[in-house]
Structure 1
Amino acid sequence: MWIGASCEVNKQPKKCIWDDGSAIDYNNFLPGYPVTNIGSCVYLDSMNQPLKGKWISATCGLDEYHAVCEAN
């Protein structure tokens, strides 16, 4: 599922931000990620999948992914 974060393409080190523009001060990326040349949106793999809750970057046009939303 998409967690509301994205990373700037071709930046070293990779700069990732939340959708509201705030900085990400914690991450759970799979080692070696984000890989922005394959996509800049950040997704969370579900706990019953091989990556077990790790974050990955992928193309932003993946319609089959769900999103996590926050409400106050």
Structure 2
Amino acid sequence: MITRISVALFLALAPVTAFANQCPAMMQAIDAAMPNASLSEADMAKVKQLRQQGEDLHKAGDHAGSEAALGQAKTMLGI
């Protein structure tokens, strides 16, 4: 019985861990692309805002929200 509960708990938490590991990689990709991006000042400010929002959400444990914000920033950067 305990083994089944342990396995179920592990399987339930596995997707959360996968999301948590994706956020830092997305932030690194954004950081690497920003210096070479040819965006307007307004668009660059928006990218920076989305990048920060993504980091804040990641730290708060909202990995789905973090991915959404970081995904928008990546789209704006063309990556």
TM-score, normalised by the number of residues in structure 2: 0.24
Higher strand proportion: 1
Higher helix proportion: 2
Please identify the structure whose Cα radius of gyration is greater: 2
TM-score, normalised by the number of residues in structure 1: 0.25
